[in-house]
Amino acid sequence: MSRKLLVDIHTHLYLPRYAQLLRARSQIPRITTLNGEERLVILAGEASTGRPVGPSYWDRNEKLRFMDTHGIDVSIVSPANPWLDFLPPAPAAQACEELNSDLEEYCATSPQLEGTRFKRLYGMAYLPVVPGAEVDAVCRSVESLGKLPHIKGVILGTQGLGQGLDDPVLLPMWETLARAGLVVFLHPHYGMPPSVWGAQENGHVLPLALGFPFETTTAVARLILTGLLDKLPTLKLLLAHSGGALPVLSSRLASCIAHDPVASSRPQHDARYYLGRMWYDAVAYGPEELAFVASTVGRAGRYAGNGKEPETRGTERLLWGTDHPFFPPLKGEAMWMSVTENLDAVKNAPGWSEVEKEGVRGGNAVDLFGL
């Protein structure tokens, strides 16, 4: 196919059934009404008045309109945080099944991308990974996704069953995900404890700009330390926000592991090696940052330790995204700065060829998700 696609792999939704769930709640996370306007309250420390929320979060026509406005051909939508984290295991399992079936319908009945074999919409599903859940129930949920042909992955927060994603009890879940060939989109929600942000009112800036990416960084470092990527070489982990601080801290992480009597023998390889085993969204907002991430990913083969794995350009593991419907323009402009900045970042990434840029804009997503 000669047409060059723009594929958005980081784009969220609250399905109507999920929005109803949030409306029925009196505690965070919730949707409340203030002066006749619905408000979303999901972040710890967020004022109880929250922020405006509307059809861009749940109406498929709004998603398609947004895609058309920005020239996006295909979106791989994922449920927005905090997923099912706040539910006990049994209601979470039931909501998961119902919501995943809604998501399949949302994607399956979306328009065809004209002149191609692609739908406009594909999905990444919920998993019932909540405190107290049984891992077998999670595995059954993963297996059930095989019946939903437009679901190409899952989105996963970092809390696991209460002990994080490096909890050894979760190994069967990772094995099932690897066997199913599903992309696992690792995405933050909790950030860092609100106390680290100080007493000044700075809106959501610090939790979103720093807390979110650092949560992802910590979760992935813990997975590297457990040796998960050694056990499951085919697991497809896609990291939100370009892997957070992992690329810039990976040599420090490697050095700390190498000098630690407890941890030094755990991962089979130097920590930097594992960067080349994962994928990264290109939601970094700047060309130099993207080029830097690619360079740390591409050099990973150098750290295989067997002299057999080649270095690559790293761009083959970056995939473009928007984070829609978050970060809408403050003045209601039609073109969203959060989209155009991420497009410009790819366009201007220093040293990238046109072929590499096309890959990041869409080709890599077609390959990774098997569209």
Q: Which residues pair with 279 in a beta bridge?
A: 238
Q: Of the two residues 51 and 179, which places its CB atom closer to ligand 5CU in the complex?
A: 51
For residue 178, the tally of other CB atoms under 10 A from its CB is 19
Identified binder of ligand 5CU from the candidate list 13, 21, 22, 43, rule CB under 6 A: 43
**Token pair in block for residue 65:** 């309109």
For 141, other C-beta atoms within 10 Å of its C-beta total 23
**Residues 77-116, interacting with ligand 5CU (CB under 6 A):** 80-81
Site for ligand 5CU in 201-220 (CB under 6 A): 204, 208
In the bound complex, which residue of the shown chain has the CB atom lying closest to ligand 5CU? 326
Q: Is there binding between residue 197 and ligand 5CU (CB under 6 A)?
A: no
The stretches of 235-336 forming alpha helices (DSSP H) are 246-258, 287-298
Distance in angstroms (rounded) separating the CA atoms of residues 224 and 350: 29
How big is the site for ligand 5CU, counted in residues (CB under 6 A)?
9
Measured from the CB atom, is 10 or 236 closer to ligand 5CU? 10
Q: Cβ of residue 43: shortest distance to ligand 5CU, in angstroms? A: 6
Q: How far is CA 328 from CA 78, 322, 324, in A?
A: 17, 10, 8
Distance, C-alpha 121 to centroid of its chain: 16
Select 197 or 326, whichever has its Cβ closest to ligand 5CU.
326
Is 12 or 60 the residue whose CB approaches ligand 5CU more closely?
12
Do the Cβ atoms of 93 and 83 come closer than 8 Å? no
What is the chain's alpha carbon radius of gyration, rounded to the nearest angstrom? 20
Which C-beta is closer to ligand 5CU: that of 42 or that of 290?
42
Least distance CB 49 / ligand 5CU (angstroms): 14
Q: Are strands 37-41 and 30-34 parallel, antiparallel or unpaired?
A: antiparallel
Q: Which of 323, 359, 365, 371 binds ligand 5CU (CB under 6 A)?
A: 323
For ligand 5CU, the binding residues in 248-287 under the rule CB under 6 A are none
Go through 10-32 and write b for each residue having 16 or more CB atoms within 10 A of its CB, e for each that does not: bbbbbbeebbebbeeeeebbbbb
Confirm if 154 and 145 have CB atoms less than 8 A apart. Answer: yes
Binding-residue pattern over the window 129 to 148 for ligand 5CU, x denoting contact by CB under 6 A: --------------------
Least Å from the CB of residue 105 to ligand 5CU = 23
Q: How far is the CB of 23 from ligand 5CU (least distance, A)?
A: 17
Q: CA separation (Å) from 301 to 291, 333, 356?
A: 17, 44, 19
CA–CA distance, 33 with 53 (Å, rounded to integer): 10
Nearer to ligand 5CU, 42 or 95 (CB): 42
Minimal distance in Å, beta carbon 208 to ligand 5CU? 5
Structure tokens at 148: 């939903």
CB of 271 to ligand 5CU, least distance (A): 26
Nearer to ligand 5CU, 12 or 269 (CB): 12
Nearest-approach distance from CB 4 to ligand 5CU, in angstroms: 27
Nearest to 304 by CA among 254, 245, 249: 254
- For the bound state, the minimum distance from the C-beta of residue 192 to ligand 5CU, rounded and expressed in Å, comes to 14
Q: How far is the CB of 72 from ligand 5CU (least distance, A)?
A: 17
Task: Identify the residue among 299, 326, 343, 366 touching ligand 5CU (CB under 6 A).
Answer: 326
Which CB atom, from 70 or from 204, has the smaller least distance to ligand 5CU?
204
Please, which residue, 13 or 42, has the CB nearer to ligand 5CU? 42
In the window 9-38, what residues touch ligand 5CU (CB under 6 A)? 12
- Cα(43)–Cα(215) distance, rounded to whole angstroms? 14
Quick one: DSSP state of residue 283?
A: -
Three-class SS of residue 9?
strand
Estimate the crossing angle of helix 337-347 against helix 287-298, to 10 degrees.
Answer: 50
- Residues at the interface with ligand 5CU (CB under 6 A): 12, 42-43, 80-81, 204, 208, 323, 326
